[in-house]
Amino acid sequence: MTSLGAVRRIVTGHDDKALGNIQSDSHLRFEDIPGMPGAKAAAIWVTADGVPTNDNNRSEDGAERIVQGGLVQHNGTNVRCTDLAPGVATPMHRTVSLDYNILVHGELILSLDDGSEVHLKNPGDVVVIKGSMHAWRNPSATEWARWTCVLVAAEPASVGGKFLEAEVKEA
């Protein structure tokens, strides 16, 4: 065990009515890294059905690329950092992607369309969103929230034979 606090991992999914829900809420299990004394690591999520990128052979700055499709780069990834002002909420939305969201500073509340909410309070807490309809809210009256997100292009989630497409619900 390290002197650092536990890292919380929330994973979303869908119920049989295609409403986003919480599939699991647990803490990461850190293990020693073989051959690296004093180093520990924990898996957050691993995919094994696609890639590789050819960016190791390009000199262009990936942050300068225009993301085709808004937030999700078709056949690629989008790593972004988001700041949310005190008391502000995003609209409920869904992307056709697998998203890794890591809280860096402040607090966030994740809301799903089944009515569930998860309050993230500790830097390093992570949410894996698997195509679920969701919104983010900063509950603080005074402090900004910041999180880093990795959006990986994915096949749309499917519930009961129906594909769940990208969507933004206006407030």
Beta-carbon contacts of 163 under 8 Å, excluding residues fewer than 6 positions away, are: 156, 157
Beta-carbon contacts of 57 under 8 Å, excluding residues fewer than 6 positions away, are: none
Whether residue 21 contacts residue 14, with contact meaning beta carbons closer than 8 Å, is answered with: yes
- C-alpha 135/C-alpha 115 separation (Å) is 11
Whether residue 96 contacts residue 154, with contact meaning beta carbons closer than 8 Å, is answered with: yes
Instruction: Check residue 16 and give its pLDDT.
Output: 95
Q: What is the pLDDT of residues 104-160, one digit of tens each?
A: 999 999 999 999 999 999 999 999 999 999 999 999 999 999 999 999 999 999 999
Query: Predicted confidence band at 1 (pLDDT cuts at 50, 70, 90)?
Result: low
Please indicate, yes or no, whether the overall pTM of this predicted structure exceeds 0.85. Answer: yes
Q: What is the pLDDT of residues 61-78, one digit of tens each?
A: 888 888 876 888 888 899
57 or 167: which leads in pLDDT: 167
Residues facing 167 on adjacent strands: 94
8-45+68-169: CATH class: mainly beta
Percent of the chain with pLDDT over 90: 67
The closest of 96, 84, 77 to 147, measured between CA atoms, is 84
Q: Is 128 helix (H, G, I), strand (E, B) or coil?
A: strand
